[in-house]
């Protein structure tokens, strides 16, 4: 049994797109030196760990998730020395850094794939080739808007190759031990530069087996356990963060250990996204009814004591609606993505603030849930200042626009004449109004509220580590729960409706308002929330 909490169990993560954050050399693309130049901002915000989106060389069909070289940095972002410098700068500020590790697939431009399609050894079997496009037909298509099959015919090899994402992203063949060994060496290469771990991309799909949906297979878990063992052995400080967009009971095995005994330490992933809770936060808020959130969390199995969930409100992808029913998906689209342009695959390609009608109360309310429900919170860059999106850009690019630093030209992101993407420039979310500079010294800004939430979260270990106990209340608009450790209890109250809700509380200290409440009734304002420490 571990007695001390592990750092990732109490950490606040910040997801950052290097291309979008800050351009240091004025070529219109954000870069690693740009991130270094803003490290004080990140430290001041109070985050503990940066998650960097892909930075390796890539034709950028999938914004870097199509890797063309695992051992370099895309020239737009800098070079390996810049990468080392970023890690050093982050560490000097007490910030850890994890990066994406993309194991499932490469770009079709990767030299391995080029060699494989020519049947050149040792790469012939590095990818999943077949004479027929009928194999593994039970596997779903993920990028539904662009792909109609998981197979593509290759004229050169005269066979089909398998891909779970874009057709330009052939899947690697994990049945080939050489591919597995490559992954270990890639992990070592980045870890040796001082990284603190990986966000392991798209792990459910590593192996394929006929007659299955080719997700979460035992072979996949066996490989991931070997990866963990290697990491544990050679880089014991590092973490593996699991990206498996699956139901909670299907994510549980990714933590490893013993599914029937959570006192057995996990031996696969340290931490894993809780995907299904995310759309249910939006659902509950729109309906003014806590049930979707309570139900999914009650359905969430326990995890080993050395593991942690992580939660998020938005990320660099579409707001995924894969883990809801068909009827719920239609409802979510109607409510949150009325225009077809706002939809992508099985999701919604919008940012937090526009999803919530730029209503400060609701933005804060969801953030309060992010910090009080179980799981380490992840903030998506720009959401801390309420950035908007650009639904006129293709794919998921509309939520990957330049960070808005100030109200100067290009939002203070770059001095270049042309940027990789236009800055948000509309009447509501335009950089002239929504930017860091205008919020940082304003005590009532969203940015400063986020800082307060982060600071308070970090001062109250029960919010990260406590058990959760939902409180019953006749009004379903009240989402109330306790976070309980042996030493303390925090009552978290959230009003999901646009009317006041009154609730009976014991004597408590209000961690955000800094007042003491004696036993009795308090009324939460519309979309109000309170974090109350029981005396």
The residues annotated with a catalytic role in the active site are: 201, 243
Angle (nearest 5°) at CA 480 between 474 and 482: 130
**In this complex, which beta carbon is closest to ligand BGC, that of residue 62 or of residue 82?**
62
Cβ-based neighbour number of residue 247 at 10 Å? 16
Backbone angles phi, psi at 286, to 5 degrees: -65, -35
Minimum CB distance to ligand BGC, residue 243 (Å): 5
Closest separation in Å from C-beta 64 to ligand BGC: 9
* Minimum CB–partner distance for residue 314 and ligand BGC (Å): 12
Alpha carbon distances (Å) from 5 to 60, 466, 529: 38, 11, 27
Write down the least CB distance from residue 230 to ligand BGC, Å: 22
Indicate the SS3 state at residue 44.
helix
Helix or strand (DSSP H, E) at 113: helix 111-117
Pick between residue 321 and residue 532 the one whose CB is nearest to ligand BGC: 321
Q: Return the residue of 65, 83, 112, 113 that touches ligand BGC, per CB under 6 A.
A: 65
By CB under 6 A, residue 254 contacts ligand BGC:
no
How far apart CA 119 and CA 448 sit, in angstroms, is 57
Task: Write down the least CB distance from residue 58 to ligand BGC, Å.
Answer: 11
**218-247: which residues touch ligand BGC (CB under 6 A)?**
243
Is 165 a residue that touches ligand BGC (CB under 6 A)? yes
On the CB side of 190, how many CA atoms lie within 13 Å of its CA? 30
Does position 251 interact with ligand BGC (CB under 6 A)? The reply is no
Residue nearer to ligand BGC on the CB measure, 23 or 62: 62
Strand pairing partners for 517? 508
Instruction: Find out whether 280 and 292 touch, Cβ atoms under 8 Å.
Output: yes
139 HSE (CA, 13 A, CB side): 26
x/- letters, 304..343, toward ligand BGC (CB under 6 A): ------------xx--------------------------
Residue 506: how many CB atoms within 10 A of its CB? 13
* List 15, 48, 171, 201, residue binding ligand BGC (CB under 6 A): 201
Helix or strand holding residue 335 (H, E) = helix 326-336
Shortest reach from residue 377's CB to ligand BGC, in Å = 18
Q: Which residue is nearest to ligand BGC (CB)?
A: 65
Q: Which is nearer to ligand BGC, 24 or 169 (CB)?
A: 169
Q: Which is nearer to ligand BGC, 102 or 179 (CB)?
A: 102
Of residues 102 and 450, the one with the C-beta less far from ligand BGC: 102
Report if residue 202 touches ligand BGC, rule: CB under 6 A. yes
Cα angle value 102/236/268 (rounded, 5°): 55
Binding of ligand BGC by 285 (CB under 6 A):
no
Stretch (H or E) spanning 114:
helix 111-117
- Residue 69-108 contact track with ligand BGC, rule CB under 6 A, x = bound: ---------------------------------x------
Instruction: Tell me the pairing of strands 467-470 and 489-495.
Output: unpaired
User: Cα separations (Å) of 457 from 3, 167, 257, 376, 429?
Assistant: 20, 42, 28, 10, 28
Applying CB under 6 A, which residues contact ligand BGC? Answer: 62, 65, 102, 165, 201-202, 243, 316-317
């Amino acid at each position: 049994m571990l007695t001390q909490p592990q750092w990732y169990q109490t950490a606040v993560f910040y997801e950052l797109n290097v291309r979008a954050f800050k351009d240091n050399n004025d070529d219109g693309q954000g870069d690693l030196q740009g991130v270094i130049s803003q490290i004080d901002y990140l430290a001041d915000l109070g985050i503990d760990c940066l998650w960097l989106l892909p930075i390796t060389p890539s034709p950028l069909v999938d914004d870097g998730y199509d890797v063309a070289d695992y051992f370099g940095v895309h020239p737009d972002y800098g070079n390996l020395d810049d990468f080392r410098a970023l890690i050093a700068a982050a560490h000097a500020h007490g910030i850890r850094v994890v990066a994406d590790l993309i194991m499932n697939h490469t770009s079709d431009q990767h030299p391995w794939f080029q060699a494989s399609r020519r049947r050149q050894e040792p790469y012939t079997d590095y990818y999943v080739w077949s004479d027929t496009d009928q194999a593994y037909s039970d596997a779903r298509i993920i990028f539904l808007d662009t792909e109609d099959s998981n197979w593509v015919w290759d004229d050169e090899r005269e066979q089909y190759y398998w891909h779970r994402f874009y057709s330009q992203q052939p899947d690697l063949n994990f049945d080939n031990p050489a591919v597995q060994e490559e992954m270990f060496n890639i992990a070592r290469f980045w870890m040796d530069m001082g990284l603190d771990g990986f966000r392991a991309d798209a792990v459910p799909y590593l192996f394929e087996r006929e007659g299955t949906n080719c997700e979460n297979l035992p072979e996949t878990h066996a490989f991931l356990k070997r990866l963990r063992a290697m990491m544990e052995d050679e880089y014991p400080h590092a973490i593996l963060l699991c990206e498996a967009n699956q139901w909670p009971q299907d994510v549980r095995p990714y933590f490893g250990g013993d599914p029937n005994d959570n006192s057995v330490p996990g031996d696969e992933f340290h931490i894993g996204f809780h995907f299904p809770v995310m759309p249910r936060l939006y659902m509950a808020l729109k309906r003014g009814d806590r049930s979707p959130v309570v139900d999914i969390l009650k359905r969430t199995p326990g995890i080993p004591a050395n593991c942690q969930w992580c939660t998020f409100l938005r990320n660099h992808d579409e707001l995924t609606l894969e883990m809801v029913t068909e009827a719920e998906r239609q409802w979510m689209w109607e409510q949150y993505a009325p225009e077809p342009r706002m939809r992508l695959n099985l999701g919604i390609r919008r940012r937090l603030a526009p999803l919530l009608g730029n209503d400060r109360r609701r933005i804060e309310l969801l953030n309060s849930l992010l910090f009080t429900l179980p799981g380490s919170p992840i903030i998506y860059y720009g959401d801390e200042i309420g950035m908007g999106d650009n639904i006129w850009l293709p794919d998921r690019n509309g939520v990957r626009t330049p960070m808005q630093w100030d109200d100067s030209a290009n939002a203070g992101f770059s001095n270049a004449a042309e940027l990789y993407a236009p800055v948000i420039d509309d009447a509501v979310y335009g950089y002239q109004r929504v930017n860091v500079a205008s919020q940082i010294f304003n005590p009532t800004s969203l940015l400063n509220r986020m800082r307060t939430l982060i600071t308070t979260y970090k001062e109250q270990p029960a919010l990260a580590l406590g058990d959760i106990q939902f409180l019953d209340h006749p009004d379903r608009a009240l989402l109330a729960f306790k976070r309980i450790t042996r030493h303390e209890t925090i009552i978290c109250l959230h009003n999901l409706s646009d009317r006041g809700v009154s609730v009976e509380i014991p004597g408590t200290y209000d961690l955000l308002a800094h007042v003491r409440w004696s036993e009795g009734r308090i009324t939460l304002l519309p979309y109000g929330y309170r974090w109350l420490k029981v005396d």
